[in-house]
Amino acid sequence: MNRRRAVPALLGAVVLACLAGPLLHRPVPADPVGGALLPPGSAVVVLTLADGRTLVSPAARPSPDGAWTLRRGGAEETVPPAAVRSAVRRRAWLGTDRYGRDLLDRLLRGGRISLAVAGAALALSLVVGLGLGLASATGPRWLDTVLMRLADAWMAFPMLFLLILLVALFRPGPVSLVAILGASSWMGLARLVRGQALALRERPFLQASRAMGSPWHLRWRLHYLPNLVGPVAQETALRLGDLIVAEATLSFLGLGIQPPTPSWGSMVAEGQAVLLSGWWVATIPGLAIALVVLLLAAAGDLLQDRVGPGTA
Amino acid sequence: MSRLILRRVLVAVPVLWLVVTATFLAVHAAPGSVEDLVADPSLSPAARLAIREHWRLDRPLGEQYVRWLGAVAAGDLGVSFLYHQPVATVLGRALGPTALLAGTALLLDLLLGLAVAVVSVRRPHGVADRLLGGLSLLLWGMPPFWLALMAVLVFSLKLGWLPPSHMASVGAAALPPAARAVDLLRHLILPAGVLALAGFAATARYLRAALLDVAASRHLLAARARGVPPRRLFWVHTLRPALLPVATLLGLAVPALVSGALVVEVVFSWPGMGRVMWTAATARDIPVVLATTLLAAGAVLAGTLLADLLYAALDPRVRESV
């Protein structure tokens, strides 16, 4: 299939699945006794009992009289027909974790949070980066020097150490996480925007526009912004991948999204405890991160091909 | 050369100062006052006041800042809340393991990158090039912490070839030196390998581009016209000039290496700086977190500086232009 179509389509599918998936997919209910650590693709029987309990078992046999015999946690159990309110067959497509939670459901919900945090952080860094980059390019000389030195100093920090320092000082939570991730990722964008704007300023069409005495807002709307869109879009795609990995790393280290809320990083961390008995718990969310990062990199490449180096 | 060193150091100092200042401001801007971070929350108001006075937190912020800057410049990083030991002692213990891990990983990273690049440019856009390119891209896209877990899963838990964590086996201290070295090496392979695998894609890509660049240059055409044999043409006339930018690459690799080492150390329980910082961050041992952050920033600056100097030492053109 054509890369030009496949990459945006796949990316869109991932985002849509994360946004709408939890509403469409009916998960296997969590049963820590009978449904823990089921391998991917396991077929289970979900029994809803009259007293409101839900039992999950991969090995359940109905009797002709309506009773159910099931194996849960190593023990055989027989449920009389009167106690059973409903029995459905479900499939745990991606397996379950050690609390019996459906991993596909958690993957989709976790993706929603991971993508939302990274997306919000990206929006923040876009605003800050664009603002500071433009201020640096068009403002007085001293401002430019100060801002660019600041960006240098910020970039000298190894990103993860900076993030951990800030999280340790400001306590983790979705909002502070967005603020911290956004505040520590604007430098590349600011430099890019500054460089592009400075290069644009000397181009003949902008000199002409200035010579004609066109007002500054017109110059911005007609000349600067349209020419900045391409490079910024490409940088944005790559930056989003970085932010997703950064959020996942923090959550993996227990410093990001806090349990029981799922995020791809903390799901990998939960899988670390059951690496041998349930390899899929850690493997699957990591694959999801890698897939999204690679898709975003491919999208960045496509954007570069499209806007090309000749626009700036 | 000495002028270059001086200039680069003079540029690095204000950046380091900005880093230190930003950390100071971040600590004071954090919610809660500094004595909440320093002290037990259940202390009496009188004891709190005593702490405030002892740490001179009652003084104006400017004065505190100058004092702190002076202490940091003198190498006094305070006392760890968690270990009740000077921060310098805590970090001193962790420096060796991290240096060993990061150094080995960097070496593997370069060797792997070089090997992949050399094989790739044999036939640009050929099967091997595409295959290796795809593979490195795949490894680049994987988050390092996950790659580390997968390595443990496959090579330690399933195959049982290598130990899954720590720097030495239980009872290794009693072994003879040679056996101890082998034990350390066995523990080193997985973490260093993961770190190198997570980073070599950039090295390979950079070197591949450099090799192709040199291959298209005129001096190579001239060498071929002179009748230089193909083997020598590649290993001497192409590879040597292409290796020059590797010096820059070393500097660029340091930040990723420092961050990557943290994650890998946590997964493999490797007793290095990253693990110390992670433990300190989860326990809010602020002096240790601050010190490791400063040290990491210093390492990054030093790495960049070293790379620039190495480049200048290797390339006469750069040396003369400054």
Q: Looking at the domain assignment, is residue B68 inside a domain? A: no
Amino acid at A254: G
Say yes or no to pLDDT of A257 above 80. yes
- Specify the higher pLDDT residue, B294 or B321: B294
Residue A286: the pLDDT is: 94
Instruction: Give pLDDT tens digits for A63-77.
Output: 888 788 888 777 888
Computed over every residue of chain A, the mean pLDDT equals 85
Query: Position B58: which residue type?
Result: D
Predicted confidence (pLDDT) at residue B306 exceeds the cutoff of 50: yes
The reply to whether B70 falls in a domain is: no
**Candidates A170, A289, A294; nearest CB to B137:** A294
For residue B50, pLDDT over 80 is answered with no
Instruction: Provide, as residue numbers in chain A, all residues whose Cβ is less than 8 Å from the Cβ of B26.
Output: 165-166, 169
What's residue B322's pLDDT?
Answer: 47
Domain boundaries, position B111: 100-271
Task: Output the CA torsion sign for B88, B91, B96, B98.
Answer: negative
Residue A252 contacts B where some CB pair is shorter than 8 Å: yes
> What would the pLDDT profile of B224-274 be if each residue is shown by its tens digit?
899 888 888 888 888 888 887 777 777 767 777 777 888 999 999 888 888
Does B76 map to a domain?
Answer: no
What is the band of B55 on the pLDDT scale with cuts at 50, 70, 90?
A: low
Query: Cβ contact (<8 Å) for A162 and B293?
Result: yes
- Tokens for A139? 């403002």
pLDDT digits (tens, 9 = 90+) for A170-182: 777 788 889 989 9
In this structure, of A30-34, B87-91, B163-167, B312-316, the range with the lowest mean pLDDT score is: B312-316
B152 interface with A at CB cutoff 8 Å? yes
Q: For residue A300, what are its two tokens?
A: 């960045």
Which has the higher per-residue pLDDT, B71 or A111? A111
Name the band, by pLDDT with cuts 50, 70 and 90, for residue B146: very high
When divided into structural domains, chain B yields a total of 1
Task: Give the strand order in the sheet containing A84-92.
Answer: A54-57, A42-49, A84-92
Using pLDDT thresholds of 50, 70 and 90, give the confidence band for residue A95: confident
In a domain, B124, yes or no: yes
Do the domain assignments include residue B234? yes
**Residue A186 burial (10 A CB sphere; 0-12, 13-18, 19+):** buried
Kindly list the residues from chain B whose CB atom is less than 8 angstroms away from the CB atom of residue A245: 143
- Inform me whether the pLDDT recorded for A284 exceeds 90: yes
Q: Is B67 on the interface with A (CB under 8 A)?
A: no
pLDDT at B108 over 90: yes
**pLDDT > 90? residue A268:** yes
Q: How many angstroms separate the CA atoms of A26 and A291, rounded?
A: 24
| B15 and A CB contact within 8 Å | yes
Domains and CATH numbers, chain A: 42-92 (2.30.30.100), 103-307 (1.10.3720.10)
The domain spanning residue B154 has which CATH number? 1.10.3720.10
**Chain centroid, CA B122 distance in Å:** 31
**CB contact, 8 Å: B263 with chain A?**
yes
Within a domain: B18: no
The token pair that represents B260 in the structure block = 């990557």
d(CA B322, CA B307): 15
CA nearest neighbour of B265 among B89, B101, B43, B42: B101
Residue B318: inside a domain: no
How far apart CA A98 and CA A140 sit, in angstroms, is 59
Which residues of A fall within a CB distance of 8 Å from B27? Answer: 169
Residue B277 falls inside a structural domain:
no
What is the mean pLDDT of the segment spanning A277-286? 91
Q: How many CB pairs under 8 A join A and B?
A: 135
Asked whether the beta carbons of residue B141 and residue A290 sit closer than 8 angstroms, the reply is yes
State the burial class of residue B194 (Cβ atoms within 10 Å of its Cβ: 0-12, 13-18, 19+): buried
Radius of gyration of chain A, Cα coordinates, nearest whole angstrom? 26
How high is the ipTM of this complex? 0.85
Residues of chain A positioned with their CB less than 8 A from the CB of B23 = 165
For chain A, give the number of residues: 312
pLDDT of residue A310: 46
